[in-house]
Structures are given as structure tokens and as C-alpha cells.
Amino acid sequence: MSTETPEKPLSPWWRHAVILVMVFGFSLLTIVTVKTYTNAPPIPEQVTGPAGEVLFTKADIEHGQAVFLEHGLMEHGTLWGHGAYLGPDYSAEYLHRLSEISRDSLAGERHSRPYAELDPDSAASIDGAVHRLLKENRYDPATGVLKFSAAEMSAWQIQKGEWSTYFAGTTPAPGLPANVIHDPVDLRDLTSYFAWAAWATVANRPGKDYSYTNNWPYDPTVGNHPSSSTYLWSALSLITLLTGLGAVLFAVGRFDYLGWHDPAAAGHAHESPLARWTLTPSQRVVGLYFVVVALLFLLQTLAGGALAHYRVESGAFYGIDLARYLPYNLLRTYHLQLAIFWIATAWVAGGLFLAPIVGGAEPRGQKAGALVLLGALAVVVFGSLGGEWLGLTGRLGRLWFWFGHQGSEYLDLGRFWQLLLAVGLVGWLVLMYRALRPAIKDKKRSELAALFLYAAAAIPLFYLPALFYGPHTNFAVIDNWRFWIIHLWVEGFFELFATVLVAVMFVVLGLVSTRTATRVIYLDAILYLTGGIVGTGHHWYFTGQGTLNMGLAACFSALEVVPLTLLTLDAWDFVRLGKRRGESTHTTFVDRHRWAIYFLMAVGFWNFVGAGVFGYLINLPIVSYFEVGTSLTANHGHAAMFGVFGMLALAVLIFCMRSLAEDSAWEKAERWIRIGFWGLNGGLASMMAIDLFPAGVLQLWDVLQNGYWHARRLTYLMSGMFHTLEWARVVADGAFLLIGVVPVVVAVAILFLGSRKRSDAAQSS
């Protein structure tokens, strides 16, 4: 890609620094991941009663986990704090019932009375005995036998009936169909799985004074309180944050060319390659991708609206038995998966649109390849959605893991669909390489083009950990690999690819030089990956990891806030760049794309607020200990997932569709885009202000007052101010959908029809 004047190449130390950061980060993350296999709570070969009688076995626990996954219960409630928020945390609920049954059992043995009838001194004595009983680790690694006390055995026997009633009783579980799990063996083994998961949260690690989950969940009735490490590393992470912010802000102030600042542009604008570019056949095909994006976006938000209503009427949707047709776990699966699909499709399409411009020409057969890839993505999207419905309704039998609902939040699509997705991403990478190859071979243009390709290559490469576990893998190991995808793939390398997309867009518009864009990519890669790689572990504080992970993750995840803080400066830079649209004649192209720049400004804002402020708020170990799995998690998730990735995907969509459509279509669509921009941002902000943040604070307070189990029960969710705020959110959701999503979809339809007319006119001429 040429510019008006030759540019001095960047120092190779930018590239070296990125490589060193990645080597260092992945070395530490690999150590933590390897230790997951040794630190994970052991699954005993047998669990016996006090007399040595076998209660259940390792095979039973593993089958119970398969039942948990097959029925998508992680998209209904949580386990060890991770999952969905309508159902209970199954491990915390079992644990609290274990404490209640144990107290009554010991009170009966010692005083021949229920616990509730004891005097304070006797009750305190029983409490201490329950703490000692449950904290004692009676697992023998030599024989693989875990010995339950009489109270623990009694709790398991009683809870078998309670969980059977919950899933197969006359009253359906909230948001689930009646009799959702009815096989007696499945129910028995599912209870055994919950028993193992709860045991791991309370029994002390050998030689330690904290459990396998670092004493999570908070439940004073079993003696679970934050560990010393939780307090220590929370304090040290604050110090790390302040140090990192100070160092980077000093560097940005000292070297004022960092960021989107472009001194060469002070007197003139750069030449815009888009000004002399003729749209290619494959670029015109990209319009079809964005029609799919708009459709998936609409479906995802409709699913989200119905999903939110389950939190105010768990048994009906304005009188309709929605759970019979679209149960909560299926809707939540669709809501999360469609979000990933439409955002990823937008970025894939953006890459296909920009790559020929960077490469300078379109290779033969690129249009056919883009159409084949679109068809493959459609098969994966709609095939996996149908498979999940079939899996959750029990129509796939033993094939559920391969073709149905895999059961891991965010990675719900069956293994077969995952493999197809990986193949599709490799096919996309091939198309990207074919388009970028001429620029990569040209020394003057190679660096930015190569970075574009490397960022694209990271997408299929870092999706591979999704294939590293099965339905019987220890849940601690599953959660480890799961967050390699959620954090590293989505939040890490997808965000890095997004940075490259934005940089290329600005070069194409003539807003910045190639040198400036390349330097920004390197800088962002260094800052993102320094904290982001090892910071992945902040999801693993309480999922079977040791204190090594807590220490590393707490400090490095604090550094993730640093680049997010700098993005507020990016937002101002975007404003400044937008104002340059009147400096010369060819910057008319900037004016044409001002709404894409406005969406990028929104990305900078939500990155700081959603990912930075709300994200760091819940990343501190001591806050995460009490908060994980509450509405504060959803608060961060909505602000970061849509506010950052969604807004960026829409910026790419608007940039590409504006380039494809004729001017008359844009004049009709622009009004809808303006409405949609403010509707989306206002609706999202209202969700935070009306419900998610204040309700999250209320729920956190209830955890502190009564214990984690209490704040996760349906009786709490459907009562008091928390429930009132959930109802009030209907206003925000309605604004987001009607004033935000619908206008954007209408605009895409107008622009697509305009692009068809422009394409037909080009072919006829």
C-alpha cells in the first residue's frame, strides 16, 4: 500500500518486544495449565460410607457430569460460580443443604433435638463440629477412596430425593420443561456429581487450611471464608495496577507519537487508497455476509429479551409457557452463541473486504471462495443451533456431545460443529493469505500486510483448545481450556485482530500513515498481551487451581486495565481524526465514513467503562470471591461483549456497507444509522444504570449478609428491590431493541439493496 512519501521503517524491536511478551506470557500460562491437571480436585475411585459401604464411584461421578452437560445445566445455573444465573449454583446449593443436614444429624446424635431447638451455646458447639467434620479431607490418594461421614452420607441420600423433585417433580424447575431429567440413574449420578463438586469446595487441600476452590463459596455455616491469599493478592494487584498505569502514562506522555497521533498528517492528509479503488467481485459478495450479520444480531437480541423476562416471570412469558418450547438453557445458549457468531462474521467479512485493498489486487477465484466460506459458516451457525435444540430435547441420544449441546458455557455447539468451524476459519485464513500475498512480498508494504495475516492466523490457531477436553474430563480442566477460548480467543486475539482491522481502515481512509498504524498495532499487542495472557487465570481463582494462579492472575489481570485506560485517549483521537475530513478533497471519504468512526468512539468509551471499570471491579480476588455468578458479572459481560466487540463489529459493518452502496442508498440509510447509534448506546447504558449494576450491588450485599447460596436462590431473585429492578429493565431492553437494533437492521437492508444496484450498474457498464 503506497503513501505520498517514503516512510522510515519501524525499529525491529517493536516486533521483538511482541515476541518476547508472548513467549513470557505463554510460558507462565502453560505452567498454570499443566498444574491444573495436578491441582484439580481428585475424582475418587469410590466414595464410601462410614462402615465402608460403597455409595457411588468415579464412573457415577463422570456420568453425572455428562448428565449435567448434556442437559445444558451450565446454561441454567452455575457450578463453582460459572454458568447462567436463573438456576442456583448447584455446588453451593448442595453444600448449604449439606451443612443443614449435618447440623441436624449431629444435634440429633448429641442432644436428641433438631438444631433449630438448641440453645446458643449448644448450637455454637454443633457449628464448630460441622466445620471440623466437613473441612476434614478423608480422601486417600493411595487407594482412591473418599470416605464420607455418617452426616455426609445422610446428606447425599436426602438430596437424591430433593434433586429428583427439582428436576422431575410436579413443579418444573424455573425456566426448564417439566420432567426435564427423569431417568432415576441419571438423577442419582447427577446428585453424586453435585456431592463431589461440593466436597471440593469445603474439604481442605492436603496440608493446607483452604479447600480445592480456595474456600469458595462464601458460606459461614460450613466454615468457608476468604483465604489469606485472597486478601493478599487483592492488595498486591492494586499496587500492580497503579504502577502499570503510571509507567504507561509516563511513556505515552514522554513519547507523544504513541497512539493514533500522526505528525506527518499535520499539514496534509495521506493519500486514500479507497479514493482510487474499484470494488472487486469478492468485495461485493461481502454484502451478503453483513445481511447474515444483521439477521443474527436481530435474533440474538430477541433471544436476550425473552431471556431477561425469565428473571421476572420464571414460569411464564406474559402467560405463555415459554419453557415448553424455548427453555431458559436453550435461549441462553442461543443468546451467547449468536453474539459470537454475528460479531465474528462481521470481522471475517471485514477482513475479506480490506485484504484486497491492502494486497493491491484480487486473486482469481476469490469471489467463489468467499461464497463457499459464507455457505460453510451458514451450515455451522444454523446446523449447530438446530443440533442444540435436538440435544436439549433428548432427540440425539448418545450423539449429544458430537452433534447437540456440548454443555460448556460459550462452547455449547457440538464437537462436530466445532470441527467444521475450525475448518471454516482455516479456509478464511487461506482467502486472506491469497489477497495479502502481493503486499507481503513487497518490502515497502510487507509489515502491515504481514501483521494483518498473523492476526488472522491467530483466530483459528487459538480456537484449538476448544477441542482439548471431553464430557468426562475433570471439570477444573474443562474450565481451564474453556477460558483459553473465552478470554484468550475472544478477548485476546480477536481483539488484536480488531485492532489491525481498525488500523487498516484508517490507512485505507488516508487518516494515518502505514507507519503510524503499524506502530499502534505493535503497541496494543504489547499492552494487551502483557496482562491478557497470564490474566486469563482471573477466571480460575476458585475452580480448582492453587494459589500460584491466584497470585499471577491477580497481578497480571490488573495490567489489563492499562490499555483499556489508554483507549479513552483513542476515543479522543478518533474525534480528532474525524475533524480532518475537510482538510483536502480526497478526505471526502472520511466524511462518508463518519458513522463508522462514531461507532469506534463508542468502542473506546465502552472498553474503558465495561471492560476496564466494571471488569477490574470484579477481577480483584476478594471481590470475585463474593461476586462471581451474580448480576455484576452480567453487568461486565454486557458492557464489554456488546459495548466493545459488538460496537466494533457494527463499525466494520457500516464502513464496508457504506463503501459498497450507492450514495442514494446511503442518504436513506444514514438516518436509520443515526437513530440506531444512539438507541444502542442509550439502551446499553440504561441496562447498566437501571438494573445490572444496582441489582448486582444488591445481590453482592446479600451474599455478604447471608451467604452465596442465599443470593442465588430463586426466592431472592423473585423478591424485593432486586425483582423490581429486573422489571424496570424492560424499558432499557425495549429501547435497545426498538430504537437500536431495528434501525440498524433496516439500514443494512437499505444499503444491501443499494449495493446490489451499484453492482448491477458496474456489470452492465
C-alpha cell at 118: 438448641
* 673-704 pLDDT per residue, tens: 999 999 999 999 999 999 999 999 999 999 99
Say which residues have a Cβ less than 8 Å from residue 442's Cβ, sequence separation at least 6: none
Whether residue 217 is preceded by a cis peptide bond, meaning omega within 30 degrees of 0, is yes
Q: Report pLDDT for 683.
A: 97
**DSSP string of 656-721?**
HHHHHS-HHHHHHHHHHHHHHHHHHHHHHHHIIIIIIHHHHHHHHHHHHHH-HHHHHSHHHHTSHH
Nearest to 358, CA basis, from 493, 291, 282, 449: 449
- The end-to-end CA distance of the chain, in Å, is 28
Cα separation, 32 vs 442, in Å, equals: 41
* 573-604 pLDDT per residue, tens: 655 555 554 444 444 556 778 899 899 889 88
Strands 82-83, 139-140: pairing is unpaired
* 303-349 pLDDT per residue, tens: 999 999 999 998 778 888 888 899 999 999 999 999 999 999 999 99
* Rounded alpha-carbon distances, angstroms, from residue 730 to 75, 306, 635, 704, 723: 22, 10, 15, 28, 12
Helix (H, G, I), strand (E, B) or coil at 139: strand
Weakly modelled stretches of the chain, pLDDT under 50: 1-4, 265-268, 581-587
Which spans in 360-485 are helix H? 366-392, 400-403, 415-441, 446-461, 475-483
Helix (H, G, I), strand (E, B) or coil at 299: helix
Cα separation, 308 vs 292, in Å, equals: 24
Say which residues have a Cβ less than 8 Å from residue 469's Cβ, sequence separation at least 6: 477, 478, 481
Nearest to 451, CA basis, from 364, 520, 510: 520
**Is 6 exposed, middle or buried, given 0-12, 13-18 or 19+ CB atoms closer than 10 A?**
exposed
* 350-379 pLDDT per residue, tens: 999 999 999 998 999 999 999 999 999 999
C-alpha cell at 3: 503513501
Q: Cβ–Cβ contacts within 10 Å for residue 286, how many?
A: 25
Residues 262/733, Cβ–Cβ less than 8 Å: no
**Is 13 exposed, middle or buried, given 0-12, 13-18 or 19+ CB atoms closer than 10 A?**
exposed
Total residue count of the chain as it appears in this document: 765
54 bridge partner residues = 48
Cα angle for residues 394, 398, 402 (degrees, 5° grid): 95
Q: Report pLDDT for 578.
A: 55
Helix (H, G, I), strand (E, B) or coil at 30: helix
Say which residues have a Cβ less than 8 Å from residue 91's Cβ, sequence separation at least 6: 78, 79, 80, 194, 197, 198, 200, 201, 217
The pTM of this model reads 0.93
Cα separation, 560 vs 640, in Å, equals: 13
Cα separation, 196 vs 371, in Å, equals: 49
